């Protein structure tokens, strides 16, 4: 039986291009999981181990989170390498949801960047303790001690610097361990030979300075260390006491231990692995809760014990060549091959046919797994975010946070024969990725895909081509315009038709007037019946209402739905023989169209609330660009080098914004977009739209 205290579940997260995948590659090498190091954009054409997808190797970026496990000394470490690009943020969300700790990787030159802030926010959301690794200390301009200070200024962390570098940039040789007060050099072809030595003379003063800072940081969490610090005994504190205090304060999220080195130059990785085992929690030290369905969904604390009832959580789905692969984290109990588990969403019982431990896209068959393990199941049909139990308890884990899509594209298969494969691809991708949404626009009949950014959708379109052999063409989606009126107008219309035998006769009169358009302006319509004296028989009043409502489906300006109309029926006439339900419906339609043209018809467009977070240096460019897009700046706020700009911008002007914002801000700004309201379009744009969509409106009227 495994010792759960010697178990770590960690994620590696950071801003794009901070070196996460390179770091994971080194960790796998030093833990003997792989026997050769491959680079992310390596000349050998192999690519990093964790970038298993062909697209990842081509682009040199991580697209999907990848799981593996390794053993360092006597500790088993489950590792998930996550993407850094904001478009694939769901991969970070779902990983942090099931992890006990994380390594926050920071670039030694750029320090805390926009995606570092996003990742930090995600870690806080799931209360994930973390240690920081300042990577790329071999790069020109690297200053890891300044980066540690940025953790405090930009992320409100309490950094605890554990090391100082020996040399920097191209002279980086190793690190000074401030707990042991010894120098460590990483030698040999791949840095696998660690040489311990005295601290170089020129670094002794700096090492003493940062040792005092480390002890002072620990003194806030230990009375024993506080006493020794007050007596000036900074060099006389037991290593074990310092490590125990740092571990406890890290797990409670009070401090962030900061390690440094260079993954690319193979410096400092083994000491970082020591940090993972020394300071990040094991499953017993993390409190995980579930909701008890049998007891009004009251929270219940899960026990990380193998003999407890099974509770596990499916956090990621991948369609593998052998079928659906479901990644699960076991929170309590044991999971074994051939056992039966219950899907808490559907109440269906399923049998575990095959159980595997993942190593990137390779898998190792196992017969059982216990509490704290991250494994994968085959042949289990479920959605992402499903809880499974052994059936003896009715527990459900809370779901992960899923951000709303910010961008959409119209897609269609170039070849009609590919429609079936396109449908399969869309079904699979929406099941795998909760941020990838598909809908069919009921007005235009177009298939629209939605996602977190242009790269996100680009990757899925490329995957459709490669994995499903579907050639798709894309186009900007139609904006969901609406039509309304600005003033009241009377209506009166007589419908008379004689065609031999019984004819058609109906007459209506009344008033059309505008009403307030609220919310999302969907089908806002009201009918008022003021007819007295039987001028229109009661059975034909609903016919008039039905006729008016049918005109709400398409306005006469550009053929889009009409909103904000109140129709008051005041008077009319009928014929004993020729009046009918159909006659009054036709009459009402013609009356509506005549009044609509007199009532100051206008086009409404959807206005989006756009919130941009940008480094303050780019604020001017961002505001200027939003203004060019007919945006109205609602407010701005500034916080430690970052400015948040809130604006209201027409949806029609927001296409291509993700690309523009990235180029304006060197990829450092992010934005969120959500529907706010409908507003009238300016007169000149209304005329352009009537020219563009006029034919559609005529076709719908005829």
Over the chain (702 residues), the average pLDDT of each successive run of 10 is: 78 75 85 70 42 45 63 87 58 73 88 75 83 91 90 89 92 92 90 91 92 91 89 84 93 93 92 93 87 85 88 80 79 90 89 81 82 86 84 82 70 83 85 81 75 76 84 76 90 84 86 71 77 88 93 86 90 88 93 92 87 87 93 82 86 83 84 78 90 67 55
Q: Yes or no: say if 181 and 235 are a contact pair by the CB < 8 Å rule.
A: yes
Q: Is 671 exposed, middle or buried (0-12, 13-18, 19+ CB in 10 A)?
A: buried
pLDDT tens track for 613-641? 888 889 999 999 999 999 999 988 776 67
Tell me the three state secondary structure of residue 590: helix
Rounded Cα distance between 301 and 288, Å, is: 6
Report the C-alpha gap between 561 and 547 in whole angstroms: 15
Instruction: Confirm if 366 and 375 have CB atoms less than 8 A apart.
Output: yes
Bridging pattern class, strands 642-650 and 602-615: antiparallel
Contact between residue 482 and residue 678 where contact means Cβ atoms under 8 Å apart: yes
Residues with Cβ < 8 Å from 119, sequence gap 6 or more? 13, 14, 15, 84, 92, 104
Q: Give this prediction's pTM.
A: 0.66
Cα–Cα nearest to 455, from 661, 674, 154, 607: 661
CB-based contacts of 348, cutoff 8 Å, min separation 6 = 342
How many angstroms separate the CA atoms of 278 and 177, rounded? Answer: 14
Q: Which of 109, 160, 154, 110 is nearest to 130 (CA)?
A: 160
> How many CB atoms lie under 10 A from the CB of residue 662?
18
Q: Are 631 and 649 in contact (CB under 8 A)?
A: yes
Structure tokens given for 136? 């790329």
Q: What is the model's pLDDT at position 411? A: 87
Chain position carrying tokens 């609903």: 542
Q: What is the pLDDT of residues 267-306, one digit of tens each?
A: 999 999 999 999 999 988 888 888 888 888 888 888 888 8
Which residues make Cβ contacts (< 8 Å) with residue 691, sequence separation at least 6?
none
Using a CB cutoff of 8 Å and minimum separation of 24, what contacts does 221-230 make?
A: 221/245, 221/248, 221/249, 221/254, 221/255
Q: What is the DSSP string of 17-84?
A: TSSHHHHHHHHHHHTTS-SS---TT-TTS---TT--SHHHHHHTS--S-EEEEEEETTEEEEEEE---
In this structure, what DSSP letter does residue 486 have? S
């Amino acid at each position: 039986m495994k010792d759960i205290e010697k178990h770590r579940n960690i994620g590696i997260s950071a801003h794009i291009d901070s070196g996460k995948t390179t770091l994971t590659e080194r960790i796998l090498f030093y833990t003997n999981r792989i026997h050769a190091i491959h680079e992310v954009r390596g000349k050998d054409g192999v690519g990093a181990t964790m970038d298993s997808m062909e697209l990842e190797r081509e682009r040199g970026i991580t697209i999907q989170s990848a799981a593996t496990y390794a053993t360092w000394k006597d500790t088993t470490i489950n590792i998930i390498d996550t993407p850094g690009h904001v478009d694939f943020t769901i991969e970070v969300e779902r990983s942090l949801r099931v992890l006990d700790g994380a390594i926050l990787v920071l670039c030694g030159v750029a320090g805390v960047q926009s995606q570092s802030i996003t990742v930090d926010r995600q870690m806080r959301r799931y209360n994930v303790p973390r240690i920081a690794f300042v990577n790329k200390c071999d790069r020109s301009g690297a200053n890891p001690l300044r980066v540690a200070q940025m953790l405090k200024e930009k992320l409100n962390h309490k950094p605890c610097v554990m090391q100082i570098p020996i040399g920097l940039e191209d002279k980086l040789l190793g690190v000074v361990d401030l707990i042991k007060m010894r120098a460590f050099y990483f030698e040999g072809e791949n840095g696998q030979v660690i040489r311990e030595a005295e601290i170089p003379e020129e670094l002794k003063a700096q090492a003493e300075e940062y040792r005092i800072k480390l002890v002072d940081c620990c003194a806030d969490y230990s009375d024993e260390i506080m006493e020794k610090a007050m007596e000036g005994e900074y060099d006389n504190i037991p290593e074990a006491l310092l490590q125990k205090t740092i571990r406890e304060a890290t797990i409670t999220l009070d401090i962030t231990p900061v390690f440094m080195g260079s993954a690319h130059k193979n410096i400092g990785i083994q000491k970082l692995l020591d940090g993972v085992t020394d300071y990040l929690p094991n499953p017993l030290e993390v409190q995980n809760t579930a909701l008890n369905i049998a007891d009004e969904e009251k929270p219940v604390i899960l026990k990380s014990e193998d003999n407890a009832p099974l509770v596990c959580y499916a956090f990621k789905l991948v369609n593998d060549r052998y079928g659906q692969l479901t990644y699960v984290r076991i929170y309590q109990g044991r999971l074994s091959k051939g056992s039966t588990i219950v899907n808490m969403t559907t109440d269906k019982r399923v049998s575990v046919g095959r159980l595997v431990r993942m190593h990137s896209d390779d898998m190792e068959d196992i017969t059982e797994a216990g509490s704290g393990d991250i494994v994968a199941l085959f042949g289990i049909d479920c959605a992402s975010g499903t809880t499974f139990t052994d059936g003896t308890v009715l527990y459900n884990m809370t779901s992960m946070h899923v951000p709303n899509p910010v961008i959409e594209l119209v897609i269609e298969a170039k070849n009609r024969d590919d429609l079936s494969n396109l449908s399969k691809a869309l079904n699979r991708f929406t099941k795998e990725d909760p941020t990838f949404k598909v809908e069919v626009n009921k007005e235009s009949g177009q298939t629209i895909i939605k996602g977190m950014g242009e790269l996100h959708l680009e990757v899925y379109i490329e995957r459709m081509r490669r994995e499903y052999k579907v050639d798709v063409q894309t186009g900007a989606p139609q904006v969901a315009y609406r039509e309304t009126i600005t003033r009241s107008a009377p209506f009166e219309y007589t419908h008379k038709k004689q065609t031999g035998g019984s004819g058609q006769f109906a007459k209506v009169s009344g008033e059309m007037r505008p009403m307030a358009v609220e919310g999302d302006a969907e089908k806002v319509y009201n009918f008022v019946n003021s007819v007295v004296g039987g001028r229109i028989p009661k059975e034909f009043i609903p016919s008039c209402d039905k006729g008016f409502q049918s005109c709400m489906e398409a306005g006469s300006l550009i053929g889009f739905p009409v909103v904000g109309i109140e129709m008051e029926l005041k008077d009319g006439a009928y014929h004993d023989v020729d009046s009918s339900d159909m006659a009054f419906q036709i009459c009402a339609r013609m009356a509506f169209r005549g009044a609509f043209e007199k009532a100051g018809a206008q086009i409404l467009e959807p206005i989006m609330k756009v919130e941009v977070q940008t480094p303050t240096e780019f604020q001017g460019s961002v505001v200027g660009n939003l203004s060019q897009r007919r945006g109205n700046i609602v407010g701005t706020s500034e916080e430690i080098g970052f400015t948040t700009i809130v604006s209201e911008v027409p949806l029609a002007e927001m296409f291509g914004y993700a690309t523009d914002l990235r180029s304006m801000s060197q990829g450092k700004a992010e934005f969120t977009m959500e529907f706010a309201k409908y507003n009238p379009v300016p007169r000149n744009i209304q005329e352009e739209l009537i020219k563009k969509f006029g034919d559609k409106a005529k076709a719908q009227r005829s």
